[in-house]
A and B are shown apart, each in its own frame.
Chain A
Amino acid sequence: MVLFENVSMTYPGGDFPAIDDMTFSIDDGEFVFLVGPSGSGKTSIIKLITGEVMADAGVLNVNGYDLRHMRRRKLPMMRRTVGVIFQDFRLIEDKTIYENVAFAMHVVGASNRDIRQRVPYVLELVGLQGCERRYPREVSGGEQQRVAVARAIVNSPQLLIADEPTGNLDPARSLELMLLMERINDNESGTTVLVVTHEKELVNSFSKRVIAIDEGQVVSDGMDGYYSYEIQ
């Protein structure tokens, strides 16, 4: 569960708050689109959820962790409950696809046996069976994005965040990826999914909750699955 209650955050040296008295919550198992124009605060929300930046005011709770009052050394534990997929994939170039995914399991202290069982399963889930020994540079952008998805879900996170996941993909691959996210939301123990995007058509083709933000504030929050807020 994600809870933002009157959360505000200004970057060091910034004149205006990136997040301004923001309130919303996402329940376990929900599939939510977070939309808004560039500079509206989408990335700041992700940074707040992953503990990359800290809120200045309000209540911020992620998967049971009170991020405003939590000790910094507990941050890795909180991050293990969240899987993040980035637009630029952020894969480790000198690790194979298998190693990139297995690495996330090593981080949480999984046994070698568990890793050997789980990684092939997840790679198959994202359609990358047979690509285990290849390096990220040896596969297409769509496949790299699926490696990022595999890495994000391999530890069965409670919350999966995708930051502009289709930004580098063509429409067909984008739709494919979104269907995969939907499947993860349905199958993978009801993983909560938060997709940050500004692709109107893609959002409108799914009947999901859409939170629109602008200038660090929530401007609409609808369950109709419609991207109603116009990008300026």
Chain B
Amino acid sequence: MRSSKLGYLIKEGFKSIGTHGFMSFASVTIVVACLVIMGSFTLIGVNIGGILDEVESQIEVVAYVEETFTDEEARGLQTEIEYLDNVKSCQFVPRQQAMESYASQFQDQTLFQDVDASILRDRYIIYFDDISLMDETLDQLSQIIGVADISAHVEVADALVNVRNVVSAVSVILIVVLVLVCVFIMSNTVKLATLSRRDEIAIMKMVGASNGFIRFPFVVEGLVLGLLGGFLAFVIQWGIYDVVANKIMSGMLGRLITVIPFNTVSGSVMAIFMAVGLVVGVFGSSIAIRNYLEV
């Protein structure tokens, strides 16, 4: 393509944005609204996931070592425990340290003056990667020779796994429904925008314009509007997120949960929004004018 022709087509695409100002505004607004709605629900899902991760990471399992094991033999179990797939970390706590830790919970330390630490067992504090696999991992732990007993809040873990499953399912359903609704609205907006230019396309065809010549400015227009919509949606999403996050963190809820800072997800949000804007703009406009090109 000659550079003068390419320049003309790009210029036409940009000019068309201004000439069809209202439709451009409507298209960008729809893209922004859809992206912000989808983005908000996704970020809520991400935050709930983050909270659950945090709660789950605090669930500890205590494995007690056989009383007959010497200190050296007890410490030797660490490698075997760590070797298990689902074990994230494992810390050896000798009986003396366990006693100190227990006693520290009481104000009156004299109560434990004559208590021998040998009444307690050496133990391991273990954290799992995935608490949904708790049953299987506990089974593996119990088979290690030297592990006498295991203490784990299986019911709490099960409850958390259930909550996560429900949250994940609801999030996925909501996002899928929202994506479908948004795709429907966006495609109709693009169709409406091109419908008003049906005559213009017919005239272009009549003077001998090729399909590529007609399509190119539409694609440029769609690309620019899509990217603009994606960028504006990102800025608005950032603003909404910051306002809501500050409200939560400064209130009662802020003492219980931590909101993921926007800057940790901003790169992904920006990339996804711009990509969605680009795809909707370019493919939406190309597909929408396809029917009018068959003249």
Contacts and interface: CB of A to CB of B under 8 A. Distances in A.
Nearest to A106: B8
B207 A92 contact: no
A78 B207 CA distance: 10
A108 B208 contact: yes
B207 A79 contact: yes
A76 B208 contact: yes
Contact of A109 (B2, B204, B206): B2
A90 B200 CA distance: 8
A84 B208 contact: no
A108 B210 CA distance: 9
B22 interface: no
Contacts of A155: 208
The interface size bin for chain B is 20 to 34
B4 A103 contact: no
B189 to A, nearest CB: 20
Given A52-B295, A90-B199, A107-B213, A79 B4 contact: no
Interface string A35-58: 000000000000000101000000
Nearest to B295: A52
B5 A104 contact: no
B287 interface: no
Contacts, number: 48
Interface in B237-295: 295
A92 B8 contact: no
B75 interface: no
A77 interface: yes
Interface string A76-99: 111110101000001110100000
A107 B209 contact: yes
A84 B205 CA distance: 11
A111 interface: yes
B203 A107 contact: no
Nearest to A52: B295
Q: Report which residue of B19, B207, B211 has the largest number of chain A beta carbons within 10 angstroms of its beta carbon.
A: B207
Nearest to A90: B203
A82 B205 CA distance: 12
A73 B210 CA distance: 8
Interface in B1-45: 2, 4-5, 8, 19-20
A151 interface: yes
Interface of A: prevailing SS: mixed
Nearest to B9: A106
A29 to B, nearest CB: 21
Interface string B203-233: 1111111110100000000000000000000
A115 B36 CA distance: 46
B4 A107 contact: no
Given A52-B295, A106-B8, A84 B210 contact: no
A106 B213 CA distance: 9
Q: Report which residue of B204, B210, B211 has the largest number of chain A beta carbons within 10 angstroms of its beta carbon.
A: B210
Given A90-B199, A94-B19, A107-B213, A112 B4 contact: yes
Contacts of A92: 200, 203
Nearest to B207: A104
A90 B206 contact: yes
Contacts of B203: 90-92
A78 B8 CA distance: 23
Contacts of A82: 208
B212 to A, nearest CB: 9
B268 to A, nearest CB: 40
A80 B5 contact: no
Contacts of A80: 207-208
Contacts of A107: 204, 207-209, 213
Contacts of A84: 206
A137 B283 CA distance: 33
A94 B213 CA distance: 18
Contacts of A108: 208
B176 to A, nearest CB: 39
Contact of A76 (B8, B199, B209): B209
Given A106-B5, A109-B2, A109-B5, 10 more contacts: A76-B209, A79-B207, A79-B208, A80-B208, A84-B206, A91-B203, A94-B19, A103-B204, A104-B207, A107-B213
11 contacts: A76-B205, A77-B208, A84-B206, A90-B199, A91-B203, A104-B207, A107-B204, A107-B207, A109-B5, A111-B4, A155-B208
Q: Can you list the 5 inter-chain pairs with the closest CB atoms, starting with the nearest?
A: A80-B208, A79-B208, A107-B209, A94-B19, A76-B210
